[in-house]
Amino acid sequence: MKTLEAQRDRAIQAWHELENNARPLIYVGAGSCGLAAGAAEVIEAIAGYLAEKRIGADILKVGCIGPCYLEPLVDVQMPGNPRISYANVTPGLVRELLDSFFEKGDVYQHHLVGHFGQNGFKGAPKFFEHAMLARQVRVVLRNCGVIDPDNVDHYLARDGYRAFEKCLSMRWNDVLDAIKNSGIRGRGGAGFPTWRKWLVCRDTESDTRYLICNADEGDPGAFMNRSLIEGDPHSVLEGMLIAAYTIGASEGFVYIRAEYPLAIERLRSAIARMRELGLLGNRILGSDFSFDIKIKEGAGAFVCGEETALIASIEGRRGMPRTRPPFPAVEGLWGRPTIINNVETLGTLPNIIRNGAEWYSQFGTETSKGTKTFSLVGKVRRTGLIEVPLGTTLRTVIYDVGGGSVKGFKAVQTGGPSGGCLGEEFLDSPIDYEALAAVGSIMGSGGLIVLDKNTCIVDTAKYFLNFTQAESCGKCVPCRVGTRHLVGILERISQGNGEISDLAKLERLALTIKGGALCGLGQTAPNPVLTSLKYFRGEFLAHIIDKRCPAAVCRDLVHYRIIKDKCTGCQRCVKVCPTGAITGPRSEAHNLDMSKCIKCRSCYEICRFDAIAGDAIVIESGA
């Protein structure tokens, strides 16, 4: 059998040279989030600076290391020094930052996040001791932000494809045992033990078996899979090799959303590298195992995250689910046994094989083993992608990792449109499959959206139901018609036209949909309504009885007001108002005519950010 040893040795040597760099090295976080924050312009500014000063330095584009709120992140590693990370670097800051290193020979002190060294370095904090990172355990994310995702040698140097090579020397059932002993369960949300699904597939007689990597990350507010693929695509692809070897699949697909163009590009390039290394195709590395991978771009349908809908869509049909059984593991793509695993599940597998099942199962709880990535977003100070052991409490994640909410924590939405809103009283719940299900939510694929006192619970429930209603495939009545009526009732309430009896109607309808819908989308769609009704009933009542939105969000229940004593008459709001609702001469308090106001928020924002007064315009609800 062939091995990758020679290639890996070269890669390790190159990696050591990179770590003990002779030339200055500049890392830039260039995942989608980094680019959205302006990383491309920063890279341009850095390249311009280096060219102008004729400095020989390398720029390395890496994936997202997690604290997206600090993007664009730029790290400078001078020869002999550890890598030092800087946050929120703008093109305008580049000169000052680099001058400090290249002209003065100093460590730049502003925007400093931390250094990556083992020991202390000139009093600078350590990167991984930063408040957002200190509580994290990086297993699946170990390479994200560390390696160049387009460079397979970086992956090889960090023990890449070692796990797969190890599998080739094992029997398939020994690999299965290792996965079984690790305790890993599906990371897409359902939490089904990975090994059990695999065994069903392997035990089904067939000439062909298929493996599908589900990268149709459809939960709005979740981006764990995007980040992992963008930052370390080979870990997911190696996981696919391990899974395919174990279940005996000969063909694999990555089903990925078209909304993730950068991730698709990274996958394409990674698959091409695999082919060059002989990791795809016939008789891989001289073994009996043959396997190939194709990319299938999703065309924008949330329901295609559901296994049978996903399969229908690959087959070229409308992405509508069907009843199960037969489960795809028995009868899936083109009628053959098919395993569909989530991106994160697959990305974790190499770590389990390499370090052993026992090592992996030390993390997590009795029934939920390992670590899990979450996208921590919404009204929380430190937003980004995190990885923590299962069983970590919501409080630790939201307060220690996320830094809490500026305007006061109200609730956290777990599990996306299939999950629920949990308030203060649940902060000490551990995050695992069982604990969150017990209180009416789900852990789901890993979206954690924090809501603060300025977020309306009724509006949030309405948002989720609008989403599931729009994404319902229309095949079964409970989901198609039921979600529509849920939206109708929630709309009525948010407009101040609700009645007390609506709450009972909501509950009854929600339970009917839960019990009657065909697939997971419909069965879980009512969860946001049910949990918010249960835990935040008071807010519904405020909308119904007082016709008031306590968070001042629901448009029909709020009005805008100018505080006369604060208004300096700077006229900025007058200029920005699209309907001429605000009038008033310069230097005198302005007037707001509510009959003309369309509540577009323009005046509110301009007053806060540009005007002299800053807080003269308020949005209020109730008399």
Partner 1 sequence: MASHLFPEVVEDFEGHPPDLVPVLQRVQATYGYLSQESVSHISRWLRISENEIYGVATFFAQFRFTQPGEHVIKVCLGTACHVKGGEQILDVLQRRLDVQPGGATADGKYQLERVACLGCCALAPVLAIDEKIYGETSVLRVHRMLEERENREDA
Q: Is 268 in the site for partner 1 (CB under 8 A)?
A: no
What single letter denotes the amino acid at residue 479? C
Taking the complex as a whole, the smallest distance from the CB of residue 470 to partner 1 amounts, in Å, to 9
Q: Is 220 in the site for partner 1 (CB under 8 A)?
A: yes
Residues 22, 258, 511, 612: which binds partner 1 (CB under 8 A)?
258
Q: Is 300 in the site for partner 1 (CB under 8 A)?
A: yes
Q: Pick from 212, 251, 448, 198: which is nearest to 342 by CA?
A: 212
Return the number of the residue (183 or 419) whose C-beta is nearest partner 1: 419
DSSP summary character for residue 397: I
Return the number of the residue (182 or 531) whose C-beta is nearest partner 1: 531
Q: Pick from 102, 83, 86: which is nearest to 42 by CA?
A: 86
Subset of residues 4 to 33 that bind partner 1, contact rule: CB under 8 A: 32-33
Taking the complex as a whole, the smallest distance from the CB of residue 409 to partner 1 amounts, in Å, to 13
Site stretch for partner 1 (CB under 8 A), options 146-154, 338-346, 444-452, 476-484: 444-452
Which tokens hold the place of 187?
A: 């990371």
Q: Is 296 in the site for partner 1 (CB under 8 A)?
A: yes
The answer to whether the peptide bond before residue 233 is cis (omega within 30 degrees of 0) is no
Q: Is 537 in the site for partner 1 (CB under 8 A)?
A: no
Subset of residues 458 to 517 that bind partner 1, contact rule: CB under 8 A: 460, 463-464, 467, 471, 473
CA-CA distance, 422 to 535, in Å (whole number)?
A: 7
CA-CA distance, 459 to 540, in Å (whole number)?
A: 10
Estimate to the nearest angstrom the gap between the alpha carbon of 432 and the chain centroid. 17
Residues 576, 597, 618, 619: which binds partner 1 (CB under 8 A)?
576
Return the number of the residue (29 or 498) whose C-beta is nearest partner 1: 29
CA-CA distance, 451 to 408, in Å (whole number)?
A: 9
Q: Is 407 in the site for partner 1 (CB under 8 A)?
A: no
Residues 37, 412, 421, 617: which binds partner 1 (CB under 8 A)?
37
Return the number of the residue (98 or 132) whose C-beta is nearest partner 1: 132
Return the number of the residue (364 or 417) whose C-beta is nearest partner 1: 417
Residues 261, 408, 515, 614: which binds partner 1 (CB under 8 A)?
261
Residues 154, 226, 372, 543: which binds partner 1 (CB under 8 A)?
226
Return the number of the residue (597 or 600) whose C-beta is nearest partner 1: 600
Cβ count near 119 (within 10 Å): 7
Name every residue whose Cβ is closer than 8 Å to that of residue 71 and which is 6 or more positions away in sequence.
29, 33, 34, 36, 37, 39, 64, 87, 88
CA-CA distance, 191 to 213, in Å (whole number)?
A: 16
Residues 7, 355, 495, 602: which binds partner 1 (CB under 8 A)?
602
Q: Is 609 in the site for partner 1 (CB under 8 A)?
A: yes
Subset of residues 43 to 82 that bind partner 1, contact rule: CB under 8 A: 68-69, 71
DSSP summary character for residue 193: B
Residues 218, 305, 332, 478: which binds partner 1 (CB under 8 A)?
218
CA-CA distance, 143 to 86, in Å (whole number)?
A: 19
Strand, helix or coil for residue 373: strand
Q: Is 425 in the site for partner 1 (CB under 8 A)?
A: no
Estimate to the nearest angstrom the gap between the alpha carbon of 142 and the chain centroid. 16
Taking the complex as a whole, the smallest distance from the CB of residue 424 to partner 1 amounts, in Å, to 17
Q: Is 416 in the site for partner 1 (CB under 8 A)?
A: yes
DSSP one-letter string for 269-332 = HHHHHHHHTT-SBSSGGGSS--BEEEEEEE-S-GGGGSHHHHHHHHTTS-------SSPTTTS-
CA dihedral 578→582→587→589, nearest 10 degrees, is -150
CB of 101 within 8 A of CB of 366? no
Size of the site for partner 1 (CB under 8 A): 63
Taking the complex as a whole, the smallest distance from the CB of residue 623 to partner 1 amounts, in Å, to 24
Site stretch for partner 1 (CB under 8 A), options 22-30, 231-239, 267-275, 445-453: 445-453
> What percent of the chain is helix, strand and coil (3-state, nearest 5)?
45, 15, 40
Taking the complex as a whole, the smallest distance from the CB of residue 133 to partner 1 amounts, in Å, to 14
Taking the complex as a whole, the smallest distance from the CB of residue 226 to partner 1 amounts, in Å, to 4
Cα separation values, 374 from 302, 347, 420, 599, Å: 19, 14, 16, 34
Q: Is 318 in the site for partner 1 (CB under 8 A)?
A: yes
Strand, helix or coil for residue 212: strand
Q: Is 35 in the site for partner 1 (CB under 8 A)?
A: yes
Return the number of the residue (158 or 382) whose C-beta is nearest partner 1: 382
Taking the complex as a whole, the smallest distance from the CB of residue 547 to partner 1 amounts, in Å, to 21
Q: Helix 343-355 crosses helix 224-231 at what angle (to 10 degrees)? A: 60
Residues 375, 441, 469, 532: which binds partner 1 (CB under 8 A)?
375
Binding site for partner 1 (CB under 8 A): 32-33, 35-37, 68-69, 71, 217-223, 226, 258-261, 296-297, 299-302, 313-320, 375-379, 383-385, 413, 416, 447, 449, 451, 455, 460, 463-464, 467, 471, 473, 576, 578, 600-602, 605-606, 609-610
